[in-house]
Structure 1
């Protein structure tokens, strides 16, 4: 794996379509504007094309300059449609709740940007989406992060069918000349020069059932999104770790040291590489067991007891408690549920 991952990162090419519409609203020719930063207009018509991250950042900086609009990133985000996010956008609309849509975004964040590390967390009555810290690379422009924040707000409102304002927004960017525009466009209190970039909603507001919820459609688009991700994601240490975890699980949950030895690296090197990829060994171990549990339980002839032992649990009761903690359902109930996801 390359030590300079920034050279390999990319952004969905369809993200250029809302930017093009925003440029038109400002009276500019989008194809000419994009060509000025080296983007081939012919590639925009390819829905599977991905923009190298440095080129996307250069485009956002150029758009701010030529429009003389410091809030251009938010303006572009207001033009986002579900298809901008490929299958993820349609899966988001078909989610049971806005919260489920946000979970899908965090799960498939690398579809949007391979450098993205998004996390959901709860703080009291709030659910926070943490977009991580901005890249410490030359040429980065905060309009890219404005676009991301605005896109999330836009998709939440599209899913609900009504405007859904975040309770708070924290941005790493320095205060703009007109900070009130950010608060107006996001309909939220916005703090600048923060240590992180995140936005939060009241948990009760985003747990309301959506009338457009369709579990079967959401799962189908999840599968399409995962297939797309698998087609382009770079080789990763995390993927190697998951492969080794799967091999070891029938003998019991492996330790990080065991996996490091299997990959012929030191424990410290493995921990460092996983941290660079925005994950940890324990996160991968738990997620792998959960995903395999779901897969095994989809087979009606496989018992909960057999599934428990295949996943390295010493007792079925221990597995049942863990599965209920992960999903809120007992394994047997999940297996028998017609809407299991």
Structure 2
């Protein structure tokens, strides 16, 4: 099996500013901590600078450790200012309604993070902002998701000019030691260890017209945001294949023809493009399964059997043999070692 293809997901460099402010509130020097995880803070003067996801996740992990604050991500989100979101932030504040701002976040989510898969759903009398699947990364830290949740709550309140509490919040993260802090900071009921990460509001509350709405200003900033997105969102065929594999796996391992159809290219074209990028469909399928297996087995409440079926294996024994072939250890042993660490 080839070495896993790095996806090189990134976030806006300006997203470090609220994190730095939250660190200062805890009396921690942000510059030292950022340098420790390989982030060159001198580049923050460049508004187009982006930070690799792996570095950002390592930073958030160290922030939690140094601040001794398991809710650090939420605290960082509360420091968010619209300028950190570039044109999206100003378009959000100029939206006619809070709902309009959320629609812009779903539309331009990849400005914030190239791994973003944000969707806005209507469920009965609620509007739900779903942050999408957790990025495929061994460095992922749940405080990064807390930061996103806190940022959305903060921006909604800034748009309204008053605090706007969500009706409910669902988080994939394990339940923290002080779960009540999440409910206090978000002023909402929080469900942990959920199947998704999302916030929900009553539809009527977020459709109230905002006195600060400025359609022309919002349009100008939308155009600026789209131009910025177009300048860097050039995805490799490998990344597209990995994304489609992740979508298909719960129904069984997809074949190359299925993925080619999902990407609207011919089987031969897909094979040629992957070869040009130094990989193959089977390499990406196996690498994706391995990375997902490691992530799932690191979760304290996910069994080997559940992991096997989520990765498209028809039998847990088949998954166990494959995992041991890939890593040299049995999945149960891998899971137990992470539970004890």
TM value normalised by structure 2: 0.69
Gaps of 5+ in 1: 241-255, 277-341
* 1:95-138 deviation line (CA, Å, top 9, x unaligned): 01000100000000000000010001110000001111213421
* 1:70-106 deviation line (CA, Å, top 9, x unaligned): 0000000110000010000000000010001000000
* 1:37-84 deviation line (CA, Å, top 9, x unaligned): 111121122211100000000000000000000000000011000001
For 2:137, the equivalent position in structure 1 comes to: 137
For 1:42, the equivalent position in structure 2 comes to: 42
Q: Number of aligned residue pairs: give it.
A: 253
Between the aligned partners of 1:44 and 1:228, the Cα distance in structure 2 is: 17
Q: Is the 8 A contact 2:166 2:188 kept in 1?
A: yes
Shifted more, 34-43 versus 142-151: the winner is 34-43
For 1:219, the equivalent position in structure 2 comes to: 219
Q: Is the 8 A contact 1:6 1:115 kept in 2?
A: no
Residues 95-114 of structure 1 aligned to structure 2 (within 5 Å):
95-114=95-114
For 1:260, the equivalent position in structure 2 comes to: 265
For 2:234, the equivalent position in structure 1 comes to: 234
Residues 97-246 of structure 1 aligned to structure 2 (within 5 Å):
97-235=97-235
Shifted more, 171-180 versus 37-46: the winner is 37-46
C-alpha change, 1:54 and 1:257, in structure 2 (3 Å) is closer
C-alpha change, 1:106 and 1:4, in structure 2 (3 Å) is farther
For 1:77, the equivalent position in structure 2 comes to: 77
C-alpha change, 1:35 and 1:25, in structure 2 (3 Å) is same
Q: Is the 8 A contact 2:156 2:164 kept in 1?
A: yes
Between the aligned partners of 1:148 and 1:131, the Cα distance in structure 2 is: 8
For 2:296, the equivalent position in structure 1 comes to: none
Between the aligned partners of 2:225 and 2:152, the Cα distance in structure 1 is: 17
For 2:339, the equivalent position in structure 1 comes to: none
Gaps of 5+ in 2: 241-260, 275-280, 286-341
Q: Is the 8 A contact 2:77 2:148 kept in 1?
A: yes
Q: Is the 8 A contact 1:97 1:208 kept in 2?
A: yes
Q: Stretches of 4+ moved more than 3 A in 1? A: 3-7, 256-266
Structure having greater relative contact order (Cα 8 Å, sep ≥ 6)? 2
Between the aligned partners of 1:181 and 1:257, the Cα distance in structure 2 is: 42
TM value normalised by structure 1: 0.69
In the TM superposition, residue 261 of structure 1 has moved relative to its aligned partner by 4.5
Secondary structure in 2 matching 1:120: strand
2:93 paired with 1:88: no
Between the aligned partners of 1:204 and 1:66, the Cα distance in structure 2 is: 41
Between the aligned partners of 1:223 and 1:263, the Cα distance in structure 2 is: 37
Q: Is the 8 A contact 2:54 2:137 kept in 1?
A: no
The root-mean-square deviation of aligned C-alpha atoms, in Å, is: 2.6
Q: Is the 8 A contact 1:133 1:172 kept in 2?
A: no
Q: Is the 8 A contact 1:153 1:164 kept in 2?
A: yes
For 2:29, the equivalent position in structure 1 comes to: 29
Q: Is the 8 A contact 1:169 1:188 kept in 2?
A: yes
Secondary structure in 1 matching 2:265: helix
Residues 4-19 of structure 1 aligned to structure 2 (within 5 Å):
6-19=6-19
Between the aligned partners of 1:145 and 1:32, the Cα distance in structure 2 is: 23
